[in-house]
Structure 1
Amino acid sequence: MSKIQEFIRDDIRKNPELKEQYEQVNLNLDASILVREMREDLGMTQKEFAKFVGKPQSTIGRIEAGSMNVSIGLINEIANAAHREVKLVLV
């Protein structure tokens, strides 16, 4: 277990209400990676990609920065516009 994982585990033990916030941050970071990889696979800048998927560049930037709480619906819209498919996996 990494130091950050230990910190998060201990922080949640002390403050159980933080668990949901940590989970949201994790989802935001996963979405960040997915959107950036999709954009880079297409060889586009954020501005080009935003226009391609019909979203503001600021939205794409916030997603890629991990600072936006992203819904499955929004990820699905972006994926569909980029001719990709979203598959959910529970682990």
Structure 2
Amino acid sequence: MSFIDDYIEKRSKTDLVFAKAVHQEGFNLAAAKAVKQLRGSLGLTQSAFATLVGQTQSTISRIETGDFDLSVDLLGQIASAAGKRLQIEFV
């Protein structure tokens, strides 16, 4: 385990706000990767994908860089607009 991982683990045990932020960032990054892969598999630019899913290009950009606090609801809307279904797993 790296110094950073150790720090995050220890601080998360004592600081619930920090733990929640770490969890949200992890979710955002995983979702960013999935949304970018979905867009790529459709062969769309960010602008065309944004139009398809009813969002702005800047929102898609922020999602794909992990700078957007995504919700399951928004991911479901994106999946539906792209003709996909959202599947959530506990790992």
TM-score above 0.5, yes or no: yes
**What's the counterpart of residue 56 of structure 1?**
56
Q: Using a 3 Å threshold, how does the CA distance of structure 1 residues 7 and 83 change in structure 2: closer, same or farther? A: same
1:27 counterpart letter in structure 2:
F
Alignment of 1:34 onto 2:34: yes
Specify every segment of 5 or more residues in structure 2 that has no aligned partner in the other structure, as ranges.
none
Q: Deviations over 1:55-77 (max 9, x none)?
A: 11111111111011101000000
**What's the counterpart of residue 78 of structure 1?**
78
2:59 counterpart letter in structure 1:
T
State the 1:12 CA deviation.
2.0
- How much identity, in percent, do the aligned residues show? 36
**What's the counterpart of residue 25 of structure 2?**
25
Secondary structure in 1 matching 2:9: helix
Alignment of 1:10 onto 2:43: no
1:35 counterpart letter in structure 2:
V
Counterpart-to-counterpart distance in 2, 1:76 and 1:63 = 14
When normalised by structure 2's length, the TM-score is 0.88
Secondary structure in 2 matching 1:60: helix
Specify every segment of 5 or more residues in structure 1 that has no aligned partner in the other structure, as ranges.
none
Higher mean C-alpha deviation, range 61-70 or range 4-13: 4-13
Moved over 6 A (4+): none
